[in-house]
Amino acid sequence: MKAALHPGRLLARRYRLLDQIGAGGMSVIWRARDEVLDRVVALKVLAPSLAADARFRGMVREEARAAAQLVHPHVTSVHDYGETVAPDGSITSFVVMELLSGEELELRLTEGPLPWAEAVQVGAQVADALAAAHRLGIVHRDITPANVMMTRTGVKVLDFGIATRIGAPDEDEDGETFGTPAYVAPERLDGAPAQPSTDVYSLGVLLHEALTGRVPYPADTWEELSAALASGPPPTLAELPELPPQVARICLQSLARDPVDRPTARQVATVLLDQLLPADPPPAIVPVPASPQPPKAHTVPMVDDGTATESGWSRRRVALVLVSAILAVGAVLAGVALLPDQQPARQAQPTVAPVPNPSTGPPAPAPSEPSEPTAAPSAQPSATSPTSDPGTLIEAASRVDRLIGAGLSAGEIRSDVGLDLRNELRNLTTTVSSGRDELAPPVARLRQKVAVRLGEGGISPAYAEQLDAAIANLGAARV
């Protein structure tokens, strides 16, 4: 008889089971302690009823291999795969993963749809994870809210249990379709080989549900899904007038019936991330003082092209006013400069070089300024001083984002590090703006991440120093 799993049992002479924290149809999740590395991990153990089947053990092993290839901030890290043989010959297969602290998106959606900005952030991070998987030739095949964990550092895509290689048959040995019906792409019902576009469809369903609180085609069985696809109305997001049109468009494109009409996961991530970037603050408007005697309009030549309309004359009048104001300012400044009683004494002017004796000839020309700066502005952008007014949270976050972009362009920040920092920055602005977190803790985490990435060689010391100063300034922003 197979020994039951229980707290305190040691698997593979290394992993001590602490307590059960979850269960599914194929596996049980345990919190465990890795006694070799002295850390707490999560163990996904194949259910005892399936452990005797070599096919299911192979699926667990393939899940571990697939997920272990993905080193990505939005994919759960896999540390190990192991098998324990009991005295009776029974085998316990398990995957060792990072232990996450957070909430499943499925549970979060029981409270209703997410605010659109938060839903877009979730969709962008899942899309980014899928894009990384697709680059490695992996199709997840089960993107659902139950397999997305929301943590303090962003979402994590879970459960690569039915992942497969691009082009592999999409059915099991009995001809059955894997996955959760409401999230399965239409072509999978016909047994089409696994393709990245099937994951993009599931992503579209997930984003639609996060925005509206419901899936486009509700179904619990394959028959219900077929009926819903055949007779259901096409999905729409018209009920969300505040939703940016780019988000609505990319979501509905992801739900296209024909796979060739869907965008890639990278395209989805790019569009969604663009909607989350802080907008640049508007340029400062410098008031132009009015002149007591503005120049007459005839000082500006007018050319009549014979096609003037009322709006065209209005634009010309605006141009006249602006030019007149500029000329007036110039006249005022020139008048001030010519007033003799306004001129400062010559002896009060500091000199930049010794004054030559007049008898020795004309003075030597002053040294010219260097024709080029010592460092290119794009390579060393200046960060706002921590002592200056940081402005609003969005303004301060925008400065940090632009500094990251400059570092990427200059090759001073590695691309994966730039993506990681930008994700962390977006998490910060979203959670703080929505009131779910105070500003100080995420700012401290972001500064710590910069320090870690500096130690890894992913950021140059000069940029790390400027980023730290800009993030410190962000910590004093107005929320």
In the chain, where the domains are located = 10-97, 102-276, 393-474
Residue 18 confidence (pLDDT): 94
- CA-nearest of 400, 399, 444 to 421 is 400
Residue 394 confidence (pLDDT): 87
Q: How many other CB atoms sit within 10 Å of the CB of residue 277?
A: 16
Query: Residue 452 and residue 417: Cα distance in Å, rounded?
Result: 10
Both structure tokens of 458: 């992913």
Task: Show pLDDT as tens, one digit a residue, over the chain (479 residues).
Answer: 445 788 999 988 899 999 998 776 677 889 999 999 999 999 988 877 676 677 777 777 777 777 777 788 898 888 888 888 877 777 788 889 888 888 999 999 999 999 999 999 999 999 999 999 999 898 998 999 999 999 988 999 988 777 888 888 766 555 455 778 999 999 988 888 889 999 999 999 999 999 999 999 999 998 999 999 988 888 999 999 999 999 999 999 999 999 999 999 999 999 999 988 765 555 555 555 555 555 444 444 443 444 334 444 344 444 444 445 454 545 444 444 444 444 444 444 443 344 444 444 444 444 444 444 444 444 444 444 444 677 888 888 889 999 998 988 888 998 778 888 887 888 788 778 777 678 888 888 889 889 888 877 889 999 999 999 999 888 888 88
Name 478's bridge partners: 392
Hey, is 439 helix, strand or coil?
coil
Residue 130 and residue 139 in contact, taking contact as beta carbons nearer than 8 Å: no
- Looking at residue 459, the DSSP 8-state letter turns out to be B
Q: How far is CA 456 from the centre of its chain?
A: 21
The per-residue DSSP string of 307-333 comes to ---HHHHHHHHHHHHHHHHHHHHHHHH
Both structure tokens of 266: 């990278």
Q: Which residues lie closer than 8 Å to 76 by C-beta, 6 or more apart? A: 67, 97, 98, 100, 149, 156, 157, 158
Residue with tokens 């009683």: 341
Residue 408 and residue 418 in contact, taking contact as beta carbons nearer than 8 Å: yes
Element (H, E) at 267: helix 265-276
Residue 192 confidence (pLDDT): 84
Beta strands 148-151; 164-165: pairing state: unpaired
Active-site option among 38, 88, 128, 142 = 142
What angle do helix axes 415-433 and 116-135 make, rounded to 10 degrees?
160
Residue 287 and residue 329 in contact, taking contact as beta carbons nearer than 8 Å: no
Q: Which CATH number fits domain 10-97: 3.90.580.10, 1.10.490.20, 3.30.1330.10, 3.30.200.20?
A: 3.30.200.20
Name 102's bridge partners: 151
| 142 in active site | yes
**Structure-derived torsion over alpha carbons of residues 32, 144, 140, 151, reported in degrees to the nearest 10:** -50
The verdict on pTM exceeding 0.85 is no
First to last CA, the chain: 61
Both structure tokens of 195: 């393709």
- CA-nearest of 104, 15, 73 to 269 is 73
Name 44's bridge partners: 29, 95
Q: Which amino acid is at 326?
A: I
- CA-nearest of 402, 413, 393, 407 to 456 is 413
Query: Residue 247 and residue 357: Cα distance in Å, rounded?
Result: 73
Residue 438 confidence (pLDDT): 83
Architecture of the domain made up of 102-276? Orthogonal Bundle (1.10)
Name 19's bridge partners: 31
Query: Does the annotation list 44 as a binding residue?
Result: yes
